[in-house]
Chains A and B, each alone.
Chain A
Amino acid sequence: MKFLDEYRDPKVAEAIVADIRRHVSKPRVLMEICGGQTHTLMRYGIDNLLPREVELVHGPGCPVCVTPLEILDKAVEIASHPEVIFVSYGDMLRVPGSKRDLFQVKAAGGDVRIAYSPMEAVDLARKNPDRQVVFFAVGFETTAPANAMAVWQAKREGLKNFSILVSHVLVPPAIRLLLESHGNRVQGFIAPGHVCAVMGYSEYEELAQQYRVPFVVTGFEPLDLLEGIRMLLAQLEEGRYEVENQYARSVTREGNEAARQRMFDVFEVTDRKWRGIGEIGQSGYRLRPEYAAFDAETRFGVSDTRAAEPPECIAALVLQGIRKPVDCPVFGTRCTPEKPMGAPMVSSEGACAAYYRYRRHDLTVLV
């Protein structure tokens, strides 16, 4: 498959790994932020190819995982309205709220649909003027432009029956939080390629300078990740802390100006709660006042709730890279993808779910 197979070539991988082995001189802890990268690392067993000195820990960059319980409960409540067509990216449907998930809402008669793009939801709103169409706008800076575009388009067309339930989060504030936490072990970051394709990477340059920690903007294929890891290790060996770009085929320093402009037209920065971590200041988006009419929370008057939490789950420590999924006493026993106790087990991009799904045979004494 052209444009993909060249980034999955085992011979090239072998050469990069050999180079890493030659150059690494002491233990290093690296973190990939994005859940998509966690998924690739686990699926291809990249961590097992690396020398013992290199430890990979997994960041909070799974949008499905960090969507707060309260928002999921709101989604469930809104989707249960008989006049609502609730439209979502597929992997949000199985994420449990405090009582139910969206699949259960669907089974109980709710009109819940999977879409690949928020524009499909706008189209549904056009075609179903007597129904309320709500799009579940979750994700990082990657999905925000398309969601902004949908709202912008709906406003332009005067669609009165379209709204979005917003739970957008931003990567740099979470990294800052990790770097400031007492238990931080991370010495270098694999920066999220797709987020940077939109945002560019000047934000990461500030972080690199302030915290003296290297970043490499990295893609999502196995060779991208190996190359990103090699570049990070080289910076650490040479005592540099810069932002380098491994993913130049998709990312420029400036990012996608047009996408960002549309996003800032529609959204503004706000405090957001992250499931498994807690509230992080200025870490997400909400709709600007001029687009408030498209806010599903106000349109449906859903209220905040709080849910009880099992104390044995170590999601917060896993999401900070302080502990590994297998360090958790309930990993793979009482906490599985079928019955997730915490954020990183709920989606295949979560660190715990990725370990469980791909690697539990050589990680633990389970089975």
Chain B
Amino acid sequence: MTSTFSLNCPLPLEVTDRVLLGHGSGGKLSAALLSDIFFRAFQSPVLARMDDQAVFEIGGTRLAFTTDTFVVKPLFFRGGDIGSLAVHGTVNDLAMGGAEPLYLSAGFILEEGLDMDVLRKVAASMARAAQSTGAEIVTGDTKVVEKGCGDGLFINTTGIGVVREGVNLSAANARPGDRVIVSGTLGDHGMAILSEREGIGFDTSIVSDSAALNTLVRTMLDAASRSSLTDIRCMRDPTRGGLASSLNEIAACARVGVELIETAIPIREEVRGACEMLGLDPLYVANEGKLIAIVAPETVDAVLAAMLEHPLGREARIIGTVSGKHPGLVTARTAFGTSRIVDMLSGDQLPRIC
């Protein structure tokens, strides 16, 4: 038996020279991709605000403008499909800017050989979803790529909407003392998708939460308008990267800390169980029909009460506070009364060995 220890450490790796899957995770790698490549190339002050939508003024009207691309697999899942998701995603990005969605575009990348029936179903689902939000799909584009160069069907949607008068929602507005509200249970969409993927091999009844949030936002703004519309500081829909990534973005952008109460965060039993089994943390799992709102303490009760009356806000809760401590960090008070960091992940969550 040898008893000599050597200082055997690897050299750190340099920045990658190719795009990794993790660059699409919504974590630190995604953020690095945006700042290193796109923000640098495009140099726009509107883009630099890093909100989920661009807000600007044309002819005295404040418009919200956003785009999103959908690459979900499988195309149909419990609670939705790529078509409804593509509409909800873009409508929600507009809603998070305080805008009512008006017009959408739809771009399709189709893989040679895709079943025409699949496309028909997806188009019908998009139409239904758009109609239910009050938005209209008014322009589009179609490209077909050779078999093997796409994964069946990719959809891009772009949306435009008018921002409600007096509303100013931006991550930068969050300030110490504000409360953090979440509109319902977390992780439903991500776990629903994961459970239907090949090779995972577990059965569950988890249903995606895919939904359009514009009417919920309207309800919240109505409630806030009785005191001050700007008391709702910002809203985010915690899609890829989950609650943790969205809150980290807000904390970084507003240079504040966010303190969560871990036991207050609503997570369904099935989602908790599935996450335990797969070694995942539900705070990083995607949602497609939930929102986070940062709200001033004097208005938070009114906003929460209004949310609880809305079908998509029935399980809304206050889950934390914005603080002046640890600017840029999200922390959680555990059930044991200790405090831990809820960090931004580098890339995708990886299941652990043991």
Chain B nearest CB: distance from A248 CB in Å?
Answer: 20
List which A12-27 residues lie within 8 A (CB) of chain B: 13
Given the interface pairs A10-B336, A45-B340, the reply to whether A96 lies near B353 with Cβ below 8 Å is no
Given the interface pairs A107-B20, A143-B354, the reply to whether A357 lies near B347 with Cβ below 8 Å is no
For A48, the chain B residues whose CB sits under 8 A away are 338
A278:B5 contact, CB within 8 angstroms: yes
For B105, the chain A residues whose CB sits under 8 A away are none
- Per the bound structure, the CA–CA distance linking A129 and B32 in Å amounts to 40
Interface 9-residue window, one of A203-211, A259-267, A333-341 = A333-341
Q: Which residue of B lies closest to A275 (CB)?
A: B8
- 12 A-B pairs in the complex with CB atoms less than 8 angstroms apart: A1-B276, A68-B8, A90-B351, A96-B13, A103-B21, A142-B354, A309-B8, A314-B7, A315-B8, A339-B12, A340-B12, A358-B341
- Per the bound structure, the CA–CA distance linking A98 and B8 in Å amounts to 12
Given the interface pairs A44-B334, A358-B341, the reply to whether A177 lies near B1 with Cβ below 8 Å is yes
List which B186-210 residues lie within 8 A (CB) of chain A: 199-200
Given the interface pairs A13-B336, A115-B199, the reply to whether A89 lies near B351 with Cβ below 8 Å is yes
Q: Scoring B residues 56 to 72 as 1 if CB is less than 8 Å from chain A, else 0, what string do you get?
A: 00000000000000000
Q: Which residue of A lies closest to B7 (CB)?
A: A316
B341:A309 contact, CB within 8 angstroms: no
B6:A278 contact, CB within 8 angstroms: yes
For A101, the chain B residues whose CB sits under 8 A away are 13
Q: Scoring A residues 338 to 354 as 1 if CB is less than 8 Å from chain B, else 0, what string do you get?
A: 11111100111100000
- Per the bound structure, the CA–CA distance linking A366 and B22 in Å amounts to 26
B12:A96 contact, CB within 8 angstroms: yes
List which B312-354 residues lie within 8 A (CB) of chain A: 326-329, 331, 334-341, 343, 346-347, 350-354
A63:B5 contact, CB within 8 angstroms: no
Given the interface pairs A315-B7, A316-B6, A359-B340, the reply to whether A281 lies near B16 with Cβ below 8 Å is no
A98:B352 contact, CB within 8 angstroms: no
Q: Scoring B residues 8 to 24 as 1 if CB is less than 8 Å from chain A, else 0, what string do you get?
A: 11111100101111100
Chain B residues within 8 Å of A, Cβ to Cβ: 1-13, 16, 18-22, 28, 199-200, 269, 272-273, 276, 278-279, 326-329, 331, 334-341, 343, 346-347, 350-354
B354:A311 contact, CB within 8 angstroms: no
Known: A307-B11, A367-B329. 20 other contacts (CB 8 A): A1-B272, A10-B335, A49-B338, A63-B353, A89-B352, A91-B351, A96-B12, A101-B13, A104-B20, A142-B354, A278-B8, A280-B2, A315-B8, A337-B346, A340-B10, A341-B10, A342-B10, A357-B343, A359-B340, A361-B326
Cβ-closest 6 pairs across A and B: A45-B338, A90-B350, A313-B9, A342-B9, A339-B12, A90-B351
Given the interface pairs A10-B336, A313-B9, A339-B13, the reply to whether A361 lies near B329 with Cβ below 8 Å is yes
Q: Which residue of A lies closest to B279 (CB)?
A: A90
For A346, the chain B residues whose CB sits under 8 A away are 10
- Per the bound structure, the CA–CA distance linking A339 and B10 in Å amounts to 10
Chain A nearest CB: distance from B272 CB in Å?
Answer: 5
Contacting residue for B350 out of A93, A279, A310, CB 8 A:
A93
Chain B nearest CB: distance from A97 CB in Å?
Answer: 7
Q: Scoring A residues 84 to 116 as 1 if CB is less than 8 Å from chain B, else 0, what string do you get?
A: 000001111110111111011011100000111
For B12, the chain A residues whose CB sits under 8 A away are 96, 310, 334-335, 339-341
Contacting residue for B10 out of A44, A63, A97, A347, CB 8 A:
A97
Chain B nearest CB: distance from A11 CB in Å?
Answer: 10
| Interface residues of chain B: helix, strand, loop or mixed (majority) | loop
Chain A nearest CB: distance from B354 CB in Å?
Answer: 5
A107:B329 contact, CB within 8 angstroms: no
Chain A nearest CB: distance from B170 CB in Å?
Answer: 23
List which A112-165 residues lie within 8 A (CB) of chain B: 114-116, 120, 138-140, 142-143
Contacting residue for A367 out of B21, B22, B328, CB 8 A:
B328
- Per the bound structure, the CA–CA distance linking A362 and B21 in Å amounts to 32
Chain A nearest CB: distance from B231 CB in Å?
Answer: 28
For A320, the chain B residues whose CB sits under 8 A away are 5
Q: Which residue of B lies closest to A64 (CB)?
A: B353
Chain B nearest CB: distance from A281 CB in Å?
Answer: 4
Chain B nearest CB: distance from A338 CB in Å?
Answer: 5
For B279, the chain A residues whose CB sits under 8 A away are 90
- Per the bound structure, the CA–CA distance linking A344 and B273 in Å amounts to 28
For B1, the chain A residues whose CB sits under 8 A away are 173, 176-177, 180, 280-282
Q: Which residue of A lies closest to B278 (CB)?
A: A116
A46 CB–B CB distance under 8 Å: yes
Q: Which residue of A lies closest to B16 (CB)?
A: A104
Contacting residue for A138 out of B328, B341, B353, CB 8 A:
B353
Contacting residue for B18 out of A39, A43, A107, CB 8 A:
A107
B352:A91 contact, CB within 8 angstroms: yes
Chain A nearest CB: distance from B337 CB in Å?
Answer: 7
For A337, the chain B residues whose CB sits under 8 A away are 346
For B335, the chain A residues whose CB sits under 8 A away are 8, 10, 44
Q: Scoring A residues 280 to 318 as 1 if CB is less than 8 Å from chain B, else 0, what string do you get?
A: 111000000000000000000000000111110111110
A139:B7 contact, CB within 8 angstroms: no
For A46, the chain B residues whose CB sits under 8 A away are 336, 338
B352:A349 contact, CB within 8 angstroms: yes
Chain A nearest CB: distance from B25 CB in Å?
Answer: 11
For A250, the chain B residues whose CB sits under 8 A away are none
- Per the bound structure, the CA–CA distance linking A103 and B24 in Å amounts to 13
Q: Which residue of A lies closest to B3 (CB)?
A: A180
Given the interface pairs A44-B334, A281-B1, the reply to whether A91 lies near B353 with Cβ below 8 Å is yes
For A100, the chain B residues whose CB sits under 8 A away are 13
